[in-house]
Amino acid sequence: MADIKQIDSIVVVTLAGELDNLEANRIRSTITSSIFTGKVKGIIWDLSRLGFMDSAGIGLILGRMRDLAPFNGETLILNPSPTMEKIFNFSGLGSNIRHGSVNSVIGEIGGVLHEK
């Protein structure tokens, strides 16, 4: 299950339960449409309630990072489980991982709130 909301130019995706291929495709479609409006500068993936994610989930996050690249967009991965954190570290995404609340990290999206 996913809850997707936009706060200014940041999309916050809160995932819960299990992320399967069908749900990943639905999320992909929704977020990609938002990105290509040019109004999205960052995505925060809140994984604190996610129990399971397979390679479709990793592909979902990596693909949206690729979509954001032409817009100089940023991605943060919030509160992954220890197992997921290892997978993200192996995938080269360790620097994108944060722990805390959405509100505590939302200001880290450069150029959106702090004009970096």
Rounded to 10°, the helix 21-35/55-68 angle is 10
Contact between 64 and 33 under an 8 Å Cβ cutoff? The reply is: no
pTM assigned to the model: 0.90
Which residue segments constitute the domains of the chain, with CATH numbers given?
A: 2-100 (3.30.750.24)
Residue 113 predicted with pLDDT over 70? no
Residue 111 predicted with pLDDT over 90? no
**pLDDT tens for residues 22-81?**
899 999 999 999 998 888 999 999 999 999 888 888 899 999 999 999 988 999 999 999
β-sheet bridge partners, residue 37: none
